Structure 1
């Protein structure tokens, strides 16, 4: 039996849910500047497949890398970590 490669998982905040069965998730991380040593906040947005359209703006979600589902979607929703207040 052949093993699958490990898939990347990220945790981020739902930025937009205006699409049908899709959400935009913003993932933040800190990166150290190579010369000055200051930590810089970085953000990247991912288009995520949400089959049941259960996410709302502000939710913290866990996403997983998957095969291409459309032109821009390469991630899918694993679970909602916490709901927006």
Structure 2
């Protein structure tokens, strides 16, 4: 049986993203939130409440606990 439980985490952000083009700065309305878990955990599902964003992306960086080598998909 699958049991859901809340994990402790820390949030850094939101950090606004700025784009510099020649001599002007463009603010596209993009922000980044960094969420880190306080202890190693196996996460199967992430649930968020989204009250004001049209769309969102989730990028994951994880550590292989068996070898203690950091992996990041796509790098």
TM-score exceeds 0.5: no
Higher normalized contact order (CA 8 Å, seq sep 6+, divided by chain length): 1
**TM-score normalised by the chain length of structure 2:** 0.25
**TM-score normalised by the chain length of structure 1:** 0.23
Higher strand share: 1
